[in-house]
């Protein structure tokens, strides 16, 4: 299916309206998985022409995505990954876990961005980062698209490695997301150390329901993220 390639339009707008010179694109993967971390990539690309075929990672075949990720790692000016573990997701909730992972990725960059383009509608980052959210930014913004592809390929690789010791779960194929094989393995073997134990899937597993962690947080009621509305973008 044809798609419009991403552009530097948002990056150019941020440069013109805020004076930002170093702009990072940020995207996450693993938000809806039952197992594994949530992974965030921050990528800085400048205004150079991107590799051919760059787009949202979900629109690419696994083979092409892997090839493109290898190319992007050398092409981007800088990139870094941040993760929040299943335990952190259970303890903090997804919103706060995303903030933690994204902060780790941004802090790991060799240079500090002046502004961040965040894929999606909601700013889960907040202060001290200057954030512009862009719906479907992983399709429309070069830096976010690059972050999307790198994050997806790296997390998929992590899940395949975790699956070596848990062959019944087929993590190499489902990368921690729901699938018939994953569901059947949970019913038979119960959750692994890599599963999120506050997730609702455990409610449907009578043998393992006792392992479910009670949430001490309510999604959407985590402490306010300071500065969400503090920048005139």
Angstrom distance (rounded) from CA 10 to CA 211:
45
Angstrom distance (rounded) from CA 222 to CA 98:
12
CB 222 within 8 A of CB 95: yes
Q: Is 28 annotated as a binding residue?
A: yes
Q: Is 123 annotated as a binding residue?
A: no
Coil, strand or helix at 227: coil
Angstrom distance (rounded) from CA 47 to CA 18:
16
CB 233 within 8 A of CB 18: yes
Angstrom distance (rounded) from CA 210 to CA 130:
42
Angstrom distance (rounded) from CA 124 to CA 133:
10
Q: Is 90 annotated as a binding residue?
A: no
Q: In the structure encoding, which two tokens stand for residue 49, read together?
A: 């022409």
Angstrom distance (rounded) from CA 226 to CA 50:
33
Query: Can you give the three-state secondary structure of 196-218, one letter per residue?
Result: CCCCHHHHHCCCCHHHCCCCCCC
Q: How far is CA 90 from the centre of its chain?
A: 17
Cis peptide before 128 (omega within 30 of 0): yes
Which residues are known binding-site members?
A: 27-28, 119
Which residues are known binding-site members for a divalent metal cation?
A: 27-28, 119
């Amino acid at each position: 299916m044809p798609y419009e390639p991403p552009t530097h339009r948002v990056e150019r707008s941020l440069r013109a309206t805020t004076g930002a010179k170093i702009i990072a694109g940020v995207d996450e993967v693993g938000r809806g998985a039952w197992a594994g971390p949530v992974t965030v990539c921050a990528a800085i690309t400048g205004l150079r022409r991107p590799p051919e075929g760059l787009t949202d990672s979900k629109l690419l075949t696994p083979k092409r995505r892997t090839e493109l990720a290898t190319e992007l790692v050398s092409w981007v000016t800088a990139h870094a990954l941040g993760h929040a573990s299943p335990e952190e997701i259970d303890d903090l909730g997804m919103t706060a876990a995303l903030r933690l992972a994204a902060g780790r990725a941004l802090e790991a960059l060799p240079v500090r961005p002046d502004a961040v383009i965040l894929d999606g509608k909601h700013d889960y980052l907040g202060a001290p980062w200057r954030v512009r959210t862009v719906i479907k930014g992983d399709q429309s913004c070069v830096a976010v698209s690059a972050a999307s592809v790198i994050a997806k390929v790296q997390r998929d690789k992590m899940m395949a490695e975790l699956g070596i010791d848990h062959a019944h779960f087929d993590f190499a194929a489902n990368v921690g997301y729901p699938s018939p094989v994953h569901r059947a393995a949970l019913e038979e073997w119960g959750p692994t150390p890599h599963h999120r134990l506050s997730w609702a899937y455990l409610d449907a597993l009578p043998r393992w329901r006792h392992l479910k962690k009670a949430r001490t947080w309510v999604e959407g009621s985590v402490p306010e993220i300071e500065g969400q509305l503090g920048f005139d973008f």
